[in-house]
Amino acid sequence: GGGGRTRQCGLVRAMRDACVVRAACAGFAAACVGGASTALERMARGGLARRSARGARRYSASVLRRASACSSRLTRIRRVETARACAAKGLAAHEEAQVRAMETLRVLAELRLTLAAPVDVYGPSALTYQCASESERQYQVLISTMLSSQTRDLALGPVVRRLQETSNASGARGLTVERILGESEESLSELLRGVSFHHTKAKNILAATQRLVSDFDAQVPRSLDSLLALKGVGQKMAHIVMHAAFGDITGIAVDTHVHRIANRLGWASSWHSRSNAPEKTRNQLEVLFPREQWQRVNHTLVAFGQTICEARRPQCSNCPVAQACVAPQIGQQPARAEVK
């Protein structure tokens, strides 16, 4: 009767589902996913034999769901394996690039020993003078570094010497906290004439010095975050101060020379970045070089950029690493970095 045909149709659908299950499970078995697919196929065959038409359909659907879960697990496993393979390939490429960069840096460091660069005489760490205490020397490093922003070392030296060798109206002499706080913004701006943006720098130096007195007991803080909280102090300045004042290496200080040469040598790829290019260069260099080489990078590239690898007229014929330069392939000259 009608009931018999219904049961027969139900069994046909159940067996059709069972065939789908067996086909799916056979595929999973071929992939050898922990034997789970074989178990599912066995469950499907045994379970269908013991169930009515409706129960068989439900059981078949249950097995299909479990098979689908196995498929998802297999997909995840394959994705992880693919990611690991890509990571291994990327690591090998990074290690190869690091070896080449270290060799280039070694050659430049040997050349650096023979170079007499302006930074050696007028750099912030070279300009400390007649300091009565270590805290005074650290303050002179901070102010010299703030004045060095976007200013040639040859122009920086005379301005710092002027501060160190003169007195304010109240008689305080030298480049000290007391003397700077005794200056008005106008008088300090006049003393700073010769460095770029001397009006802005006078305002920033007064604000930073007042902050040192109010928050740090008139001491230069030995903390990158605290230095960055001072008005007018950027990432490059903070890293320089941490090393020159305290001997701590917290990052690579990227000025216009480091930014330019790193891109010319292919160590960084921030030539055409419209914003925050020095920070991008710093991040790429700190990934490329081990931490113990960070200070060497700045010390070597600044002098190299001041004497040989200049921005507009690089002396390529005198460059010992000219074969490593990628500038001709990527536009020759990068935009000059605006670095604080």
Residues noted as catalytic: 236
Packing angle of the helix pair 294-307, 256-264 (nearest 10 deg): 90
Q: Taking Cα atoms as reference points, which of 57, 15, 102, 52 lies closest to residue 289?
A: 102
CB 140 within 8 A of CB 244: no
Residue 39 CB neighbours (<10 A): 14
Cα separation of 136 and 142, whole Å?
10
φ, ψ for residue 193, nearest 5 deg: -60, 130
Residue 49 CB neighbours (<10 A): 9
Displacement of CA 292 from its chain's centroid (Å): 16
Q: Taking Cα atoms as reference points, which of 299, 204, 206, 218 lies closest to residue 261?
A: 299
| Farthest-apart Cα atoms in the chain, separation | 120
Residues in the chain: 340
Packing angle of the helix pair 235-246, 134-148 (nearest 10 deg): 150
Could you write out the DSSP letters of every residue in 159-211?
HHHHHHH-B-TTS-BSSSHHHHHTS-HHHHHHHTBTBTTHHHHHHHHHHHHHH
CB-facing half-sphere around the CA of 15: CA atoms within 13 A: 7
